[in-house]
Structure 1
Amino acid sequence: MASIETRNTEAGDKSYRVKVRLKGYPPQTATFERLTDAKKWAAATESAIREGRHFKTAEAKKHSFTDLATRYYSEVLPNYNEKEQKERKSKLEWWRHSIGHCLLSDITPAAISEHKSKMTQSAATVDKYIKNLSHAFTIAVNDWGWLDDNPVKKVKSPKLPRGRVRFLDDSERLKLLTACQASTNKQLYLCVILALSTGMRQGELMGLKWPDVNLKDGFLILHETKNGERRRVPLAGHGLELLKEHAKVRRLDTDLLFPGTIHANKPIDLRKPFENALEVAEINDFHWHDLRHCTASYLAMNGASLAEIAEVLGHKTLAMVKRYAHLSDGHVSNVVASMNAKIFGGV
């Protein structure tokens, strides 16, 4: 229930102090120069409290974007691996420098779009900045109750080019593996084989530790992934056999599967050996991450569904793996042909 108290100043001016009291909620007060404004605020506030909207709005007026970013860094980022933490923080820092001083209640889709228009990076990079910002706001809405809605959801993402699909054909794959076997770096061949056979990201592969590897049952567990969720990765065939041999000569001063030569607790750096192998194999326009594209492409060409490819690669949705759909056209055609034969028979 709302009450309005009239106050007179020494100069003879009037003001109206409103107090809204509802059972179970802390009282809310405000002062206005006009009675009509006081009555409007009282009615709106009482309605908002009854509908559960008022205190979330109040929280948005208490916190700035810097507050949001700071809490996100301390509570959310630790759930990701070191590389992902660094990438997410660098993008949110850009936003913090742009809108850090703003109260969350004042950050609108229009304000975000205005800052987005000033960005000179590629469309794909801008999209990552938008998605990182959106995730932070989603946490503030769902977990902290600081906002009613995520304003980033109403910001239009830039039009993205088609996803890159660069994979090695049979000849290229043979030449690369031959060059890796001949490399002076004894870990390169095994790491490339594991990358091709499992689809693990480079950071996931380099961060592997022996306690998370089950050679008997043929799988390993990734605790730190890009999307922050644990993932079980099957091991089979040549990669599993090579890893069993590697386990026989593992170093005892570290849990890492592939420790560096100088610092045992830091992963080995295979950038230069891999580049040298590509040069020897005469393979152009290919990067380590493209080994992951190879895995997805080979799965698609061997009849795996998009859902199965997404599960292997650790994607939460099918959006990221649709780029490989055309590679499984033969499999889809066979499915359609089988269905037609079954329902129409010899008609």
Structure 2
Amino acid sequence: MASIQKRGSTYRVRITREGESTLSSSHNSRVAALQWAKEIKAKLALGLIEETHNPKPSLKTFEQAALCYRDTHSIHKKIVRSETYRLHILIKRWGTLRVEQVDKAAVLALRDDLLKLRRSGDTVNHYFNTISKLFQMLVDEWGLEVNNPIKGIKRMPPSKGRYKRLLEPAETALLEACSALSYQNLISIITIAIETGMRRSEIMGMTWQDVDLPNRKVYLHYTKNGQSRQVPLTRKAMDIFQAITQDGSEKIFSMSLEQLRGQFERAKKYAEAQWIDKSNNPFIDLRFHDLRHEALSRLSDAGLNVIELSCISGHKTLGMLQRYTHPSHQAIFMKLDRD
């Protein structure tokens, strides 16, 4: 039996056979897809196509399917760490079920349980995407006759963007905490984050070859959205780079992401303990990623337009840039009151 499905600008035709492997091919037009199906059916009738005896894989459980997806797909993604974590959560939940038993009802129950745990809509959608991609692999690559349980389920509305700024008094307190704990590298990392708006992974992945001090910029070759970009350096950022002692290693910061997380949390707790105004505690729920929000907001306050901000941040859409940029009222008033 032949079936044709439009996928983007191409037409995918599949010929399923009882007890045999599925034959498939993609074409630029429906006419070409129909012609291919006609030719293949004729060759099958004449016995001109040899069976490769490469049957559908013997995937019996969701765990087997998830591990297969992890080892062949997730491993090549930049989100491998987070997607692997989600897959292992799903394995704990559905591991012993056969893949066809993971249906729409099971996914809706997963959604409800995640919401009860106060997971955000974005987190729920990440689970939906992982499940959908896994079943897409089973259908498209392994030829399994299973339904994608995500089909027909509405995605959750996106979470509201965070509005968390680390103003200068709190920044000073945080850096003083780093100094008191002898976290000199963390002082440099936090300052670079606030001065450049770079992501944590981008900062920790920098090498000395990426830094062009004479031209005051950093080259980022591997970013979240897959596009390289150049980040201009403020004078304060320049001072930080010039003060770092090069120990012969290629990377600027040799600590791991786990070490960075641990030091940042300890410095935050130390600063929180020293903060006098307990009714206005800026360190509650402060995340390292908020430093990126603060950096872009300060650049906006300095008068940079959205095109300039997007070149620095790497955001492709104005909507995402708006979620990261929160100009201060004082900066807005200064612009309004200009003669």
TM-score (norm 1): 0.61
Cα distance in 2, alignment partners of residues 93 and 158 from structure 1: 22
- 2:17 equivalent in structure 1: 28
The answer to whether structure 1 residue 194 and structure 2 residue 182 are counterparts is: no
Among candidates 114, 117, 121, match of residue 117 of structure 2: 121
> Secondary structure at the residue paired with 1:117?
helix
- 1:15 equivalent in structure 2: none
Task: In structure 1, list runs of 5 or more residues that go unmatched.
Answer: 3-23, 31-48, 337-347
- 1:95 equivalent in structure 2: 90
Pairs within 5 Å for 1:44-123:
50=34, 65-80=62-77, 84-100=79-95, 101-103=97-99, 107-119=102-114, 120-123=116-119
Identity %: 23
Cα distance in 1, alignment partners of residues 305 and 36 from structure 2: 44
- 1:294 equivalent in structure 2: 294
> Secondary structure at the residue paired with 1:112?
helix
Among candidates 228, 251, 257, match of residue 252 of structure 2: 257
Cα distance in 1, alignment partners of residues 69 and 206 from structure 2: 26
Among candidates 237, 240, 251, match of residue 239 of structure 1: 237
Pairs within 5 Å for 1:181-220:
184-220=182-218
Structure 1 residues 155-192: Cα deviation after superposition (integer angstroms, max 9, x where no partner)? 23445653221112344345545665666332232211
Q: Is the 8 A contact 1:141 1:149 kept in 2?
A: no
Stretch deviating more after TM superposition (137-146 or 217-226): 137-146
RMSD of aligned residue pairs (Cα, Å): 4.9
Q: Is the 8 A contact 1:137 1:152 kept in 2?
A: yes
- 1:7 equivalent in structure 2: none
Cα distance in 2, alignment partners of residues 142 and 236 from structure 1: 46
Q: How much does 1:238 deviate?
A: 1.1
Cα distance in 1, alignment partners of residues 311 and 65 from structure 2: 32
> Secondary structure at the residue paired with 1:92?
helix
Aligned residues: 287
Cα distance in 1, alignment partners of residues 220 and 62 from structure 2: 32
Q: Is the 8 A contact 1:64 1:102 kept in 2?
A: yes
Q: Which letter maps to 1:216? A: P
Structure 1 residues 236-256: Cα deviation after superposition (integer angstroms, max 9, x where no partner)? 32112320231xx2112x333
The answer to whether structure 1 residue 270 and structure 2 residue 263 are counterparts is: yes
> Secondary structure at the residue paired with 2:184?
coil
Cα distance in 2, alignment partners of residues 217 and 251 from structure 1: 23
**CA separation of 1:202/1:217 partners in 2, compared to 1, >3 Å: closer, same or farther?**
same
Task: In structure 2, list runs of 5 or more residues that go unmatched.
Answer: 3-12, 20-32, 38-54, 277-281
Cα distance in 2, alignment partners of residues 149 and 233 from structure 1: 45
Q: Is the 8 A contact 1:300 1:309 kept in 2?
A: yes
Stretch deviating more after TM superposition (323-332 or 203-212): 323-332
Cα distance in 1, alignment partners of residues 258 and 250 from structure 2: 10
Q: Is the 8 A contact 1:259 1:266 kept in 2?
A: no
Pairs within 5 Å for 1:144-223:
145-146=140-141, 151-152=149-150, 154-158=152-156, 162-177=160-175, 180=178, 184-222=182-220
TM-score (norm 2): 0.62
Q: Which letter maps to 2:232? A: P
**CA separation of 1:295/1:112 partners in 2, compared to 1, >3 Å: closer, same or farther?**
same
**CA separation of 1:266/1:301 partners in 2, compared to 1, >3 Å: closer, same or farther?**
closer
Larger Rg: 1
Q: Is the 8 A contact 2:197 2:296 kept in 1?
A: yes
